[in-house]
Amino acid sequence: MEIGKLPESVLKRSVIKQLHVKRPEISSGPGVGEDCSTVQVGPDEEIVLSTDPITGTASDIGELAVTISINDLASAGAEPIGILLTVLLTPRMREAKLKAIMEQVDAACRRYNVQVIGGHTEVTDVVNQPLISVTAVGKVKKGHMISTGGAQPDMDLVLTKWIGLEGTSIIAKDHEEELLNRLPQSLIDKAKSFDQYLSVLPESRIAVEHGASAMHDVTEGGIFGALWEMGEASNVGLDVDLKAIPVKQETIEVCEYFGINPYELISSGSMLIATADGNGLVRKLEAAGVAAAIIGKSNSSNDRRIINGDEERFLEPPKTDALYNVKTNN
């Protein structure tokens, strides 16, 4: 199998269809495009859970691991509470590196007011770089969780910030020396700084108050993958204007150097939101300092189209993220 997310057909056939145990406390379980599940713990409250590893980079993995998992909770409209960590280390790694990773974890936890509530650490030779997997725990009022599959026909599709932020930052950090062969240091430094935009908690809170019907953080597979997953989970068609999708020039330059598609690049920091009032949501987001744009609408067909002027193409299920296709040009 190829590196990255499992193909949708394999996920359905060999993972989801093999899971048969159902409990009454579980009100929302695994599904295509869904990053969170809920467990009812009282008459009016549910615990929201999500899990994610950081595998695409060894840079700043403590910060990334916490932020990406908190973003999953934010996309469900949940209040983050705590995280559980699994940290797998290589035999050649020094203790100072472990300490630095945990300092990153603690700094991120302070920022989001979440507690590390448990976990596991281990040195193993089955990994070739440090690996962190995080299970995030949050809470939401019963019946108030927002899913990826909540979009209805004739809703506006709002995208926050810019696509490719996480992938651009990772590539700029991991391949800085090579990029300097063509790109100026100032551009690379700006690309590396995109990690400052990776949290989607601010837009999540605004979108929840606005009455968003569906939210999905744009991670592996990029914006094309997120659009497909929202359409598939919601059973709606989509018409998306490619030119309306916001992207930074630094992302374009970095992607052009490595010959990868920015629309298929991991994009944590950007959230896809379906709402009946896209203009109103964009105004509220921009008033709070969060860039946002309407990039299309949902419809009642089965077609998920990307429109670029007079041209159009149909979306396909997500493929391997462009980040894994970065190859050295030296």
Q: Where are the domains of the chain?
A: 17-141, 148-325
* Cβ–Cβ under 8 Å, residues 68 and 267: no
Enclosing H/E stretch for 221: none
pLDDT in tens, 14-61: 666 766 656 565 555 566 665 566 677 777 777 777 776 666 566 788
Q: How many CB atoms lie within 10 A of CB 201?
A: 18
The rounded distance, in Å, linking the Cα atoms of 214 and 83 is: 24
Q: How many CB atoms lie within 10 A of CB 122?
A: 11
The rounded distance, in Å, linking the Cα atoms of 29 and 162 is: 30
Confidence at residue 145, expressed as pLDDT on a 0 to 100 scale: 86
Is it the case that residue 80 has pLDDT exceeding 80? yes
What is the pairing mode between strands 115-123 and 79-89?
parallel
3-state secondary structure of 123: strand
Which range in 55-69, 80-94, 102-116, 211-225 is most confidently predicted, on average pLDDT? Answer: 211-225
The rounded distance, in Å, linking the Cα atoms of 199 and 303 is: 31
Which of 76-85, 188-197, 268-277 has the lowest average pLDDT? 76-85
Is it the case that residue 152 has pLDDT exceeding 90? yes
Residue 163: DSSP 8-state: B
- Alpha-helical regions (H) of 92-240: 95-112, 165-174, 176-179, 185-192, 201-210, 222-234
* Cβ–Cβ under 8 Å, residues 80 and 73: yes
3-state secondary structure of 120: strand
pTM, 2 dp: 0.83
The rounded distance, in Å, linking the Cα atoms of 180 and 173 is: 11
3-state secondary structure of 294: strand
Confidence at residue 60, expressed as pLDDT on a 0 to 100 scale: 81
pLDDT in tens, 249-300: 999 999 999 999 999 999 999 999 999 999 999 999 999 999 999 999 999 9
Q: Which of 44, 24, 284 is nearest to 144 (CA)?
A: 44
> Considering the chain, what is the average pLDDT of its residues?
87
Which of 6-10, 47-51, 52-56, 142-146 has the lowest average pLDDT? 52-56
Question: Which residue carries 């009016």 as its tokens?
Answer: 44
Please state the rounded mean pLDDT for residues 134-142: 87
Q: Which of 66, 56, 322, 291 is nearest to 174 (CA)?
A: 56
Confidence at residue 273, expressed as pLDDT on a 0 to 100 scale: 98
- Per the model's pLDDT, the better-predicted residue between 117 and 96 turns out to be 96
CB proximity list for 46: less than 8 A, separation 6 or greater: 27, 38, 39, 40, 139, 140, 141, 142, 145
Angle at the Cα of 311 (from 309 to 315), degrees rounded to 5?
110
Angle at the Cα of 227 (from 226 to 230), degrees rounded to 5?
85
Which of 95-99, 189-193, 302-306, 319-323 has the lowest average pLDDT? 95-99
Question: Topology of 17-141 in CATH?
Answer: 60s Ribosomal Protein L30; Chain: A; (3.30.1330)
pLDDT class for 151, splitting at 50, 70, 90? very high
Question: Topology of 148-325 in CATH?
Answer: Phosphoribosyl-aminoimidazole Synthetase; Chain A, domain 2 (3.90.650)
Q: Which of 134, 148, 163 is nearest to 266 (CA)?
A: 163
